[in-house]
């Protein structure tokens, strides 16, 4: 058991990956924040949320919005099947919630988790009740609104036996909070025969630091899909979500699409630990560098017989000046596993561009179409609800030139 003292010592502990960020440079984020009743009436925040797929459309089951460190909105149209609260509210309301805190992630993992632990950070709490199959997604939104501050969140997602849910999370900075730090710890528990599709769309400022810490525990025949999309400039982002396939027949899929523009430092990917027999994992990464630095990681760990997994990192380098590093890793501890990987780094094929140009598209339009296909079209299983957001983000990213 971790004690507060152990975690305190970890406050100086650099993360395993990514540039070290001096967290003392930032103020605490506000906990007492403006309350939004309706997204429609959220003023200039509405546009920011729109860019990361957070909408006031009917086809969302519920919505949680955090501004800095305080919950600003929580609405829920499916009280019978899903409970939405802030993490601190959930801890007060239910005695059992504490049993899920810091069980998937060690708080002394690095300075960011330690800080979140010691701050008793709030975050969103989503609990899907046993057997409930949600028809529409729940959306969550994390906004960084205060410059020179740190947003520390601790989210908890529990999908009980036989239940299923899709979550769309949009994270963004408002225009006056460029130089800020986002730390989001997310612990996800998917029980036997349960299913979660978790999609994140990020859009940060050019100097923003981003350190999400995500880990997922998956039970027997449970499944987890992690979609991560970053198509806007960011200062420094480092994230390495982990799925632990603990129950027999569990499966997970990571789909990552990233763009590293000039000045952006992106280090991301996914890890799957196949701890139970006949588990299955797939990690797909599609990245583009346009003068920025991009590290695409993927790691498969096979700890049980019958584990099958595949890892694929593909990158396109659009212009000179940046770096692209693909790091696929496979680790097996038992004999009967089947794990493969593929990695490719290249440029956009000229014959493809000219082929589309011969149909009348300009060079920029042709390149944008190829990139859109490369990023979105080649990953199967993306929720249709995300397609429009991805299209909009790609159009906005102005990839053609």
Query: Is 373 among the residues that bind other proteins (CB under 8 A)?
Result: yes
Distances (CA, A) of 163 to 94, 191, 194, 195, 223: 20, 8, 5, 6, 11
DSSP states of 111-133? HHHHHHHHTT---EEEEEPTT-B
Q: Which of 377, 383, 392, 400 binds other proteins (CB under 8 A)?
A: 377
**389 neighbors 199 (Cβ within 8 angstroms):** no
Q: What are the backbone angles phi and psi of residue 256, rounded to the nearest 5°? A: -125, 130
Q: For residues 114 and 183, give the distance between their C-alpha atoms in angstroms, rounded to a whole number.
A: 11
How close are the terminal C-alpha atoms of the chain, in Å?
53
Which stretch in 29-37, 287-295, 301-309, 373-381 sits in contact with other proteins by CB under 8 A?
373-381
**In whole angstroms, how close is the CB of 372 to other proteins at the nearest point?**
7
Nearer to other proteins, 118 or 356 (CB): 356
Nearer to other proteins, 161 or 365 (CB): 365
Q: For residues 209 and 265, give the distance between their C-alpha atoms in angstroms, rounded to a whole number.
A: 9
Nearer to other proteins, 218 or 370 (CB): 370
Q: Which of 78, 375, 390, 399 binds other proteins (CB under 8 A)?
A: 375
**In whole angstroms, how close is the CB of 397 to other proteins at the nearest point?**
16
Nearer to other proteins, 319 or 363 (CB): 363
- How many residues bind other proteins (CB under 8 A)? The answer is 25
Tokens of residue 149, six digits: 């501050």
Strands 62-67 and 70-76: antiparallel
Q: Which of 376, 390, 393, 394 binds other proteins (CB under 8 A)?
A: 376
**In whole angstroms, how close is the CB of 350 to other proteins at the nearest point?**
6
Query: Is 374 among the residues that bind other proteins (CB under 8 A)?
Result: yes
Q: What are the backbone angles phi and psi of residue 94, rounded to the nearest 5°? A: -125, 130
**In whole angstroms, how close is the CB of 391 to other proteins at the nearest point?**
10
Helix axes 384-397, 363-372, angle to 10 degrees: 150
**In whole angstroms, how close is the CB of 343 to other proteins at the nearest point?**
16
Phi-psi domain of 311 (left: phi exceeds 0; alpha: psi -120 through 50; beta: other):
beta
**In whole angstroms, how close is the CB of 341 to other proteins at the nearest point?**
19
Nearer to other proteins, 43 or 373 (CB): 373
Nearer to other proteins, 335 or 350 (CB): 350
Distances (CA, A) of 276 to 159, 214, 251: 19, 20, 10
**In whole angstroms, how close is the CB of 257 to other proteins at the nearest point?**
11
**In whole angstroms, how close is the CB of 342 to other proteins at the nearest point?**
14
Distances (CA, A) of 390 to 257, 269, 372: 10, 18, 9
User: Which helix (H) or strand (E) covers residue 49, if one does?
Assistant: helix 44-50
Q: What are the backbone angles phi and psi of residue 388, rounded to the nearest 5°? A: -65, -40
Nearer to other proteins, 51 or 372 (CB): 372
Residues numbered 312 to 371 that lie near other proteins (CB under 8 A) are 349-352, 354-363, 365-366, 369-370
Residues numbered 78 to 97 that lie near other proteins (CB under 8 A) are none
Which parts of this chain interact with other proteins (CB under 8 A)? 349-352, 354-363, 365-366, 369-370, 372-378
């Amino acid at each position: 058991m971790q004690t507060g003292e152990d975690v305190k010592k970890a406050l100086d502990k650099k993360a395993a990956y990514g540039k070290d960020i001096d967290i003392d440079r930032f103020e605490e984020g506000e906990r007492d924040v403006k309350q939004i009743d309706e997204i429609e009436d959220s003023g200039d925040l509405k546009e920011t949320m729109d860019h990361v797929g957070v909408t006031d459309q009917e086809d969302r089951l519920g919505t949680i919005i955090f501004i800095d460190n305080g919950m600003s909105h929580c609405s829920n149209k499916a009280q019978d099947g899903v409970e939405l609260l802030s993490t601190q509210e959930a801890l007060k309301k239910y005695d059992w919630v504490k049993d899920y805190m810091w069980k998937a992630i060690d708080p002394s993992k690095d300075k960011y988790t330690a800080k979140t632990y010691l701050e008793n950070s709030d975050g969103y709490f989503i609990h899907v009740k046993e057997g409930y199959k949600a028809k529409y997604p729940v959306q969550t939104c994390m906004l960084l609104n205060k410059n020179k501050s740190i947003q520390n969140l601790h989210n908890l997602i529990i999908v009980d036996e036989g239940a299923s849910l899709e979550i769309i999370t949009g994270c963004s900075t408002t225009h006056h909070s460029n130089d800020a730090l986002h730390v989001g710890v997310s612990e996800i528990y998917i029980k036997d025969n349960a299913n979660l599709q978790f999609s994140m769309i990020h859009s940060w400022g050019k100097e923003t630091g981003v350190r999400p810490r995500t880990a997922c525990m998956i039970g027997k025949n449970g499944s987890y899909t992690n979609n991560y999309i970053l198509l806007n400039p960011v200062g420094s982002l480092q994230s390495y979500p982990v799925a632990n396939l603990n129950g027999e027949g569990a499966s997970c899929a990571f789909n990552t699409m990233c763009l590293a523009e000039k000045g952006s430092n992106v280090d991301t990917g996914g890890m799957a630990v196949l701890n139970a027999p006949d588990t299955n994992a797939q990690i797909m990464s599609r990245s583009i560098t346009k003068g920025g630095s991009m590290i695409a990681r993927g790691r498969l760990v096979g700890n049980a017989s019958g584990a099958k997994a595949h890892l694929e990192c593909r990158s396109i380098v659009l212009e000179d000046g940046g770096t692209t590093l693909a790091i696929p890793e496979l680790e097996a501890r038992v004999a009967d596993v089947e794990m493969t990987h593929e990695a490719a780094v290249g440029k956009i094929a000229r014959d493809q561009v000219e082929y589309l140009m011969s149909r009348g598209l300009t060079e920029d339009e042709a390149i944008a179409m190829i990139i859109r296909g490369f990023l979105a079209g080649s990953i199967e299983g993306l929720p249709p609800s995300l397609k429009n957001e991805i299209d909009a983000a790609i159009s906005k990213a102005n990839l053609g030139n």
